[in-house]
Amino acid sequence: MARLDPLIHAPARLQVLTTLSAVSEAEFATLRAALEVSDSVLSKHVSALADAGYVRSRKGVQAGRRTTWIGLTSVGREALREHVAALRRLIDMVD
């Protein structure tokens, strides 16, 4: 049975994983713009998620400047699926 994941229970981290599920990889600045957060806030959440193996990051070049690319791992995708399923079950119980 799907369970709530404490690591992505914070809405900000759930948003990071959900947004990354729309792409294979996103540049740091693109992700920051979609989430409407500061560099430091996103960096903190990405680090926590990367430590858990939910996202991977790599250095690259975008339009001639160095940047960081971030992508969802298969572990992160499964964690997201289970967490969302658990949230939906909670909603169903309330309804």
Partner 1 sequence: MESNSVHQDPDDPRSVLAAADQARQRLAAGLRLPAGLHPALAAAAAVQLGTAAYGIATHTASGLAVAMAGVAVFLGVAALTLYQFRRVNGVRVDGLASQVVLGTGATPALVYAGALGAATWAAFESRWWLVGAAAVAGGAGYAFAVLRWWRAYRHDPARHAGGASPRMLAVLAVFACLGLVALLAAG
The residues of the shown chain that bind partner 1, judged by CB under 8 A, are: 10-12, 14-15, 17-19, 21-27, 29-31, 33-37, 41, 62-63, 69, 84, 87-88, 90-91, 94
Neighbouring residues of 17: CB distance < 8 A, sequence distance ≥ 6 = 8, 49, 54, 55, 72, 76, 79, 80
What is the rounded CA–CA span in Å between residue 31 and residue 59? 15
Smaller CB separation from partner 1, 10 or 53? 10
| C-beta closer to partner 1: residue 29 or 52 | 29
Specify the 3-state DSSP secondary structure of 45: helix
In angstroms, what is the minimal distance from the CB of 48 to partner 1?
A: 15
